[in-house]
Structure 1
Amino acid sequence: MPDYQLLIFDWDGTLADSIGRIVEVMHVAAETLGLPPRSDVAIKGIIGLELVAAIQTLYPHLVTQQQIEGFRDAYSAEFVRREQEASLLFPGVLSALQRFRALGYQLAVATGKSRRGLARSLQQHGLSEFFDVTRCADETAGKPDPQMVQEILTHCRVAPERALLVGDAVFDLEMARRAGVDAVGASYGAQPAEVLRDFAPRLMIEAFTDLALWLGDNVVVRREVGHG
């Protein structure tokens, strides 16, 4: 296994158990505007994209700025209302992050959330000062463009081959591929393992704790692609 120095995490569906909330809020926004509902599977398929790109993917007939901003505002208002109660972190996330820190890894977040949204989530979980660097979709090109990963690599002074990205969506894995970074697919989040495997991640995990075991070189059934 490469000597990784930097671990880059997606937020929603990778660290935070927030997929159900995102799906529900998207349904509420569509209903508020009188738009036809989209399936849960379709909504999960856009998680990871910057919000406007997600809206345009689900509702391509919304073409004017007024239409798109109307949906964005309806979604954001409902999401902020629900975010007064923080989404839970997945089991084992906090202890694993603490262990990664103790082992000397640099830690980063690359997310489709807005800067304000990520700051709120980090504060709710007491993680505001935990990561070396974070990048959000409203300050860089959105996923799967590699810009946010490239900026993280530059900030941390780490070569691509020494970084590992963990994400639950195809946009995460494609972003990692374009940046020349190894990826781990988290099949417990937005998209299932059979979808993520098409992007040839180095490892598939069914729980966040699998990552800690793998990186810690403990005894674990390895689910590296091509090895089970």
Structure 2
Amino acid sequence: MNRYEVLIFDWDGTLVDSIARIVESIRAAARSCDLPPRDEVAIKGIIGLALPEVIAVLYPQMADAARVEAFRQHYVEHYLALEAQPSALYPGVAQALQGFRDAGYLLAVATGKGRRGLDRVLAGQGWEDFFDITRCADETASKPDPLMLHEILAYCGKRPEQALMIGDSVFDLQMAHRAGMDSVAVAYGAQPLEVLRQCRPRMAINRFAELASWLGSATGSEVKAYVG
């Protein structure tokens, strides 16, 4: 059997197909604040960070606190308007997560979203009590700082080698490495696989359903390192 007992998931781009909406909302906020546009690659490259860090990376010249807050407000308003119809889960996510829970894994979320945003989308899925613990960027340190992973491990009473971080950004994988934790790269999210591979994940998946097969939750097969 594999040694993992805690599965920790990023949210946007890993469980939920929301990347396009994030890109659109950042562009809309920039237009509202009369800021120059950033291309899609640049925006996708910062998805996973907390919003203040996103603004600092994309617009480092914007140091005025009032302008930063205006950008944040425009982003949130535009994103919430798009989310009137909630972003869909990626295919196979709901079934796989239920399978993991039934198999006895502890499940957690570690996200760059704010607490209000995550609680809203969890409620929309009927998942208010589904995960054992969730941590958000506005209540701890932003990725790639490993603090939220340390907090999840402490809550679950587990060691880093007993947990696995699953995410679609380098910030997820760097955070896991700094916490002494293995990771799985999600190749269908915000960042391309060739970028994620540089962080040396244990495995890369092209579809969410591949995670269960790799973990061997149905067969009890031994987890093997990803080579590629």
TM bracket (short chain): over 0.9
C-alpha contact (below 8 Å) 1:188/1:206 kept by paired residues: yes
- Unaligned runs of 5+ residues in structure 2 are none
2:92 maps to what in 1?
Answer: 92
Partner of 2:20: 20
Aligned to 1:207: 207
1:191/1:223 CA distance change after superposition, 3 Å = farther
Q: Which residue of 1 aligns with 2:83?
A: 83
Change (3 A) 1:133 1:160: same
- Which position in structure 1 is the counterpart of 2:29? 29
Q: Distance in 2 between matches of 1:54 and 1:2?
A: 36
After alignment, is 88-97 or 67-76 more displaced? 67-76
Deviation at 1:84, TM superposition (A): 1.8
Q: Which moved more, 1:170-179 or 1:77-86?
A: 77-86
Q: Equivalent residue for 1:183?
A: 183
SS, match of residue 109 in structure 1: strand
What SS does structure 1 have at the residue aligned with 2:29? Answer: helix
Whole-Å separation in 2 of the counterparts to 1:3 and 1:60 = 42
Shift of 1:2: 4.0
- Who is 1:144 aligned against? 144
CA contact (8 A) 1:204 1:223 kept: no
Runs of 5+ consecutive residues of structure 1 not aligned to the other structure: none
Q: Is the 8 A contact 1:2 1:162 kept in 2?
A: no
Secondary structure at 1:138 match in 2: helix
Q: What letter is aligned with 1:91?
A: P
Question: 2 CA distance for matches of 1:225 and 1:99?
Answer: 23
> Does 2:60 match 1:55?
no
Which deviates more, 75-84 or 20-29? 75-84
Cα deviation for residue 109 of structure 1 reads 0.1
Match of 2:57, SS state, is helix
Q: Which deviates further from its counterpart, 176-185 or 1-10?
A: 1-10
Q: What CA distance in whole angstroms lies between the structure 2 residues aligned with 1:102 and 1:218? A: 11
TM-score of the two chains, using structure 2 as the length reference: 0.95
Distance 1:170 1:218 in 2: 29
Partner of 2:216: 216
Distance change >3 Å, CA 142–CA 34, structure 1 → 2: same
* 1:225 corresponds to: 226
**Cross-structure match for 1:124:** 124
Q: Deviations over 1:141-183 (max 9, x none)?
A: 1000000000000000011100000000000000000001100
Deviations 1:24-67 (A, max 9, x none): 11111111111111000100000000001001100111011111
User: Kindly, what percent of the aligned residue pairs are identical?
Assistant: 55
